A and B are shown apart, each in its own frame.
Chain A
Amino acid sequence: MDLVKGGRLFPMTRHWPAHTTVLVVEDDAATAKIIQVRLEMEGLRVLVATNGMDALEIFQREAVDLVATDLMMPAMNGFRLVQEVRDLPPPKGRVPILLLSSNHSEQDMVRCLAAGADDYMAKPISVQVMVERLWRLYERSHRAG
């Protein structure tokens, strides 16, 4: 099924299971809101945190299926957050993580992936592409069991 929005087409090839939860960690409230609205359109439950510390607290408390986190944040940055999540026992420690960064350097990309992130997107990001990548990560993690 496709959702047509006044001539704009959102292909709905994704079939998210009910109650799939995404944790969005972004210190810029304006960007977080845009991402949240788009993900909610997909039928996802979206939790928003503005820094790594809050995100970790939410992550431990709630059942989160996917994480999309910014890299540069106050209190605890994206690298630390990824490491802290990966240190948790499975299944929580294996939740797919998408890192978003405004730094485009190759070193940062390698650092992100080496820290345990599953994918990386350089800002500015297309929210449409981000949704697609989250879907791929979700699909892959569930196929792997």
Chain B
Amino acid sequence: MAGLILVGAVMQYRQDRRNRYRIARYQAWETRLSDFLFRKGYEHGDFGPVAWADRWLFRDFLARYQSSIAGEESELLRGLYLDIGLHASLPRRLRDRDPRVRAQAAKEIGAFRLDEPSEHVAPLAAERPWRWKPGLRLEGYLDRVLPLLDDPVPYVAHTAALTLTQSRNLRYAAPVVAWVMREELYQRERLLRVLEGFGPGLLPWMKDNLESPDQNPGPWILFALLAGSHRHRESQPRLLWLLDIPNVDLRASVLKALIILADPAIYPRVLAFATSPAWEIRTQVARALGVLGGPSAVPDLMPLMADPVFEVRRNAAQSLVDLGHAGVSALTWLAEDPKADRFARDMARERLEWADERGHL
């Protein structure tokens, strides 16, 4: 027992010592970095030496800025990272047995944009490592990240996908889209955040490269959701074309995107789906009519208040609340009408109470 306590104390002591050392290094580097970016560091021409033993710590220090600093400062940070020469070990680290090392390597390639050409200079580290190879080319790092999409550890594959999308290089669009399609259906909407990294340029690529939606509608669902999240109005004609494909999930996703694009001119096209046998489609129509039609949509929303499916009734009622005076008047009339459909009346009362509690009335 005493031995265990002693081991624990020693481990705690070592951990504390490491933390104190890290904090001391970070504080010293923060001052030097500010000088390097904005003050005399420029006049002197460099950041100053970084001890070879501190190179991993220095990498973590630099990585802290990559998510918040852009522009010229970001370029200078990238230069500092290249100066310590750690990128030379990336090919080995991408194949490391430890998944944390693989993921970190992929992250570094994305954060420091290692596929972009850069003038290569020798490391600042006081002691040059024996494995340092001058003249190492920066191109090709993203190709080495590609196999990690098949990594057995989901976190590593996810990090690799993020790195590839953040490059905005559409050469990697096909493998990343294929990776998303291999994931479970419920995960796909979450993974949209990854695909968004490619930017709106992915949508024309998808339009040109995806298989026909009749054969494989899955990727087109992603297309529709991405068109919505990017508010990509140029994709609206293709979305309307996709509405003709008889696939429930695809139509529901297209309607979601059309709600976001909010073009009133397509109201009649959407209204045609109000009587669809699929409740998933009617649910989206109930939201879309309110957004696209404004107060004039009230007569079309009223029949949906009596829909046999709860979600459709709830969305129709919510649309009416969102329409303001015209919609609320219709709901109030429905709530007080003894001859109205029982489910429609209950839903109208429920939404009016909901809106009243939140001060929307």
A joins B in a complex = yes
- Which residues of chain A have a CB within 8 Å of any CB of chain B? 5-8, 28, 30-31, 33-34, 37-38, 41, 102, 105-106, 123-129
Does A126 contact B39, Cβ atoms closer than 8 Å?
Answer: no
Nearest-Cβ distance from residue A34 to partner chain B, whole angstroms: 6
State whether B34 touches A128 (Cβ < 8 A). Answer: no
Which residues of chain A are near B104, meaning CB under 8 Å? Answer: none
Which residues on the B side are within 8 Å of A106 (C-beta)? 231
Q: Is the interface of B mostly helix, strand, loop or mixed?
A: helix
The one of A41, A123, A128 that contacts B39, using a Cβ cutoff of 8 Å? A41
Contact residue among A7, A34, A37, A105 (Cβ-Cβ distance under 8 Å from B69): A34
A127 touches B42 (CB 8 A): no
B215 at the interface (CB under 8 A from A): no
A34 touches B72 (CB 8 A): no
Chain B, residue nearest A33 (CB)? B30
Contact of A127 among B44, B66, B73, B229 (CB under 8 A): B73
Do residues A34 and B73 form an inter-chain contact, with CB atoms below 8 A?
yes
| Partner among A6, A7, A31, A37 whose Cβ is within 8 Å of the Cβ of B68 | A31
Is the Cβ of A34 less than 8 Å from the Cβ of B67?
A: no
Chain B residue nearest to A129 (CB atoms) is B71
Complexed CA–CA distance, A115 and B343 (Å): 37
Given contacts A5-B42, A30-B64, contact A126 B70 (CB under 8 A): yes
Asked whether B106 is an interface residue with its Cβ less than 8 Å from the other chain, the reply is no
Q: Of B30, B72, B231, which is within 8 A of A128 by CB?
A: B72
Interface residue B37 (Cβ < 8 Å from any Cβ of A)? yes
Check B38 against A124 for contact (C-beta < 8 Å). no
Interface string of B15-49 (1 = CB under 8 A from A): 00000000000100010011001110011110000
Q: A34-B65, A124-B74 are in contact. Are A7 and B231 (CB under 8 A)?
A: no
The answer to whether B42 and A124 touch across the interface, beta carbons within 8 angstroms, is no
What's the Cα separation between A128 and B71 when bound, in Å? Answer: 8
Shortest CB–CB separation between residue A67 and chain B, in angstroms? 17
| Min C-beta distance of A103 to chain B, whole Å | 11
List 9 additional A-B contacts (Cβ < 8 Å) besides A28-B68, A30-B64.
Answer: A30-B30, A31-B68, A37-B37, A38-B37, A124-B70, A125-B68, A125-B71, A126-B74, A127-B71
